[in-house]
Amino acid sequence: MKDTAYLVIGTLIMVLLMLCGGCVTVPDIGTQALADYARVRLADYDVTLTEADVNEAMVKAKPEIDKLLASFPVLAPVMPQLVELAALITAGQTNLTYQPPTGALYAGFLQSDAAIRVMNKLSINANAADRSALLKQQKVFGFNQVLFFLANEGDGGPVPTTFYRDAWFGDIDPAKVAMMRAAITEWKAAGFAVELWGIADDSPALSRATPEQLKGFYDACVEHFGDLADSWCVGLEIDEWGERWWNQLWHKPDMKIIQGCVEILKATGKPVAIHLTKYDKINLALQSGADTFNAQFGWFSKVSQMTDAMAWINARKGNLRIVACEFNRDSTTPLATALATEAMRCGAAGTQTGRPAK
């Protein structure tokens, strides 16, 4: 509940900065006009609010607002209207009427407009101190799951990520395995659930692997990291393996091979997800034999887009568990929070780009 208070007070400070920074002044348009403007803008994003939503946001934020008012008494005459405006914005961003289930997992693998990709922090080029600092930041943001690549040649930096010594699918390097295990253990000790992902799509040498090499890779994942994995995900955008123009002459895994990779991971007794380029390829997820579909949506700009996408998925998911994966380029934005909240309200079992309000 305290998180909501901070959201309101943060939004309030943002509004105050806008008012005092020369963009607009209270005498120019009036505080009621500002509140009306906020309602209109929220409607543009398909967000409608009840009075209960606004009142709840204001009640939760009151202790922090009182502190702010005590420090800046000059704000007293306009504070009620400013608080309402901040509450309107916050309620619209966080969909306060929804209460997420206890025990759900939320990861935030994208930050800083996708410049930070937490999944790559097992890279041999990753800085250990930076990784530890990021862990603490993720805790502050309220995430309780982390996703890590075990093999990545070129999907975001820093790369490569591998436990092989000299070449892809060559000899396994004990030092790299030890480094990666230590990093995973640090996050587990901090209370994060760990989902280990296989091969990333933008990895040409990995995408052209033979069936035997792929089987060997996932066997090695289980052998060296199986005790640390709370769940698995086969690849990233595995439907792109061999499909892009630069991969056309290379090996293209078929569904039988993908099913084989899923079976290797399912033998550990832990949940196995599959990740594809878009949620509307759910039929491939169903064919794969995976327990979970990590659904990728693209970059949504309205809450209603998530509502529609989840309705489409729910009509086709069968027994698949749905986790909302990519829907915003930064896991900590208000829009990411609103989208994550809507995904969970519509039946997602967890989120991996942002987390819902609580």
Q: What is the pTM of this model?
A: 0.76
Query: Using DSSP, how many helices (H) and how many strands (E) does the chain show?
Result: 13, 10
What gap in Å lies between CA 334 and CA 93, rounded to an integer? Answer: 5
pLDDT tens per residue across span 299-312: 998 888 999 999 99
Mean pLDDT of the chain: 81
Q: Please calculate the CA angle 159-131-222 and round it to the nearest 5 degrees.
A: 65
pLDDT tens per residue across span 104-118: 999 999 998 889 999
pLDDT value at position 156? 84
* Residues 341, 94 contacting (CB under 8 angstroms): yes
pLDDT tens per residue across span 231-287: 999 989 887 765 444 444 444 557 888 899 999 999 999 999 999 989 999 999 999
pLDDT at 170 over 50: yes
- Please state which of the four CATH numbers 2.60.40.10, 2.40.37.10, 3.40.367.20, 3.20.20.80 is assigned to the domain occupying 105-351: 3.20.20.80
Domain boundaries, the chain: 2-94, 105-351
Order across the sheet with 321-324: list the strands. 105-106, 350-351, 321-324, 292-295, 272-275, 231-234, 193-199, 145-151
Provide the greatest CA pair distance for the chain.
Answer: 73
More confident residue, 313 or 302: 313
Identify any residues that bridge with 111 across adjacent strands, giving them in sequence order.
Answer: 116
pLDDT value at position 245? 42
Give the HSE-up count for residue 202: Cα atoms under 13 Å, Cβ half-sphere.
Answer: 8
Calculated CA dihedral for residues 203, 205, 207, 211, nearest 10 degrees: -150
pLDDT tens per residue across span 85-96: 565 555 555 455
**Where does residue 142 rank: exposed (0-12), middle (13-18), buried (19+ CB within 10 A)?**
middle
- pLDDT above 90: percentage of residues in the chain: 50
